[in-house]
Amino acid sequence: MRLRKLACLVTALGLLGSTAFAGSKAKGGDASVARAGIEAGNAKFGEAFQRGDASAVAALYTEDAMLFPPDSEIIKGRKAIGEFWKKTHDSGVKSAKLTTLDVGTGGDVAYETGTVVLTVQPEGKPASTASAKYVVVWKRQADGSWQLHRDIWNSRAAAK
Amino acid sequence: MRLRKLACLVTALGLLGSTAFAGSKAKGGDASVARAGIEAGNAKFGEAFQRGDASAVAALYTEDAMLFPPDSEIIKGRKAIGEFWKKTHDSGVKSAKLTTLDVGTGGDVAYETGTVVLTVQPEGKPASTASAKYVVVWKRQADGSWQLHRDIWNSRAAAK
């Protein structure tokens, strides 16, 4: 009977353990772990964008992602988003350097705020930079990686 | 001993039950419930904004909220956000009509996409409208209501 009591306690503690684990995951699965995954995603974005690689950029977004470029309607879906970034690259935006300001999480969702510096150099013209701020909603995938799900930005500097 | 076994099972099931409950809450606590709360928040925003009531607008945001107006640096904190909206109202933006497009959730976080139509009428001038699209990250409060936590928008129409 002592053994049985022990078995009962082990079962109960086991369940408690998994509850606690589920709880900590629900609380955001550790915002610093999410932030590391998101910063890795941003690094991949910068590299793929610089190469003008539409399909590599598209693969960083969820299938039903939405992009909100300034002065444009909403762009929906991975494929259309990849094409938008390819067009942006080909128009002379050479690179996008993303800097994460903060990350918060809830379940498999994370929201990131940050700033981006674009280096712009249309053919035959001198290079310049433009600075924007952004909010991105990320979704955690089954393999633990994060994909961009909602992506919106606007200018930091007052229009002249 | 049969009783003891039953007690053990009840304990185990009780723990399982609370795990399941935590799980369903973590999955987003029903996106349609969140959407109703968010649309209620948007209705309050529209009313408070139209009155030019800075403190009522501010109260709809979390204490550490961030606002991302176009052509501006990030505005941080409830008080500064209330003042921004008051200034916007006083500059001639008479009303803001918000339309939610979709809502997704993770734990106590929800993200909303939508469009807004602003009616602008500076003193002595005819009224016009401007249309923008937005992403808002909302946070569920202890009482079940939702507050704006990250708020960013940009223009829908191409600049001319």
Tell me the per-residue pLDDT of B32-73, one tens digit each, with 9 for 90 and over.
Answer: 999 999 999 999 999 999 999 999 999 999 999 999 999 999
CB A107 to CB B105 under 8 A?
A: yes
Confidence of residue B117 (pLDDT cuts 50, 70, 90): very high
Residues within 8 A of B (CB atoms), A 49-88 only = 66, 68-74
Neighbours of B36 (CB within 10 A): 13
Contact A137, A110 (CB under 8 A): yes
- The reply to whether B20 touches chain A by the CB within 8 Å rule is no
A23 occurs within a structural domain: no
Amino acid B157: pLDDT: 78
- The number of folded domains in chain B is 1
pLDDT of B80 over the 50 cut = yes
A113 occurs within a structural domain: yes
**Domain limits at B85?**
28-155
- Min Cα distance B124 → chain A (Å) is 25
A10 occurs within a structural domain: no
B9 occurs within a structural domain: no
pLDDT of B9 over the 70 cut = no
- Residue B94's nearest CA partner among B127, B66, B69, B116 is B127
- The reply to whether A150 touches chain B by the CB within 8 Å rule is yes
pLDDT of A64 over the 50 cut = yes
The CATH number that applies at residue A40 is 3.10.450.50
Confidence of residue B29 (pLDDT cuts 50, 70, 90): low
Average pLDDT, stretch A27-56? 90
B17 occurs within a structural domain: no
Rg (CA), chain B: 21
Tens-place pLDDT, residues A73-101: 999 999 999 999 999 999 999 999 999 99
B64 occurs within a structural domain: yes
Distances (CA, A) of B108 to A58, A64, B20, B101, B141: 28, 22, 17, 20, 8
B81 occurs within a structural domain: yes
Neighbours of B44 (CB within 10 A): 15
pLDDT of B142 over the 60 cut = yes
- The reply to whether B3 touches chain A by the CB within 8 Å rule is no
Q: Tell me the Ramachandran region of residue B98: left when phi exceeds 0, alpha when psi lies from -120 to 50, beta otherwise.
A: beta
Model confidence, pTM: 0.81
**Smallest CA–CA distance from B158 into chain A, residue:** A71
Pairwise pLDDT comparison (B68 vs A23), residue with the higher score: B68
CB B109 to CB A113 under 8 A?
A: no
Amino acid B89: pLDDT: 96
pLDDT of B6 over the 50 cut = no
B73 occurs within a structural domain: yes
Contact B150, B134 (CB under 8 A): no
Average pLDDT, stretch B23-34? 62
- The reply to whether A142 touches chain B by the CB within 8 Å rule is no
CB A154 to CB B70 under 8 A?
A: yes
- Min Cα distance A3 → chain B (Å) is 12
Average pLDDT, stretch B120-132? 93
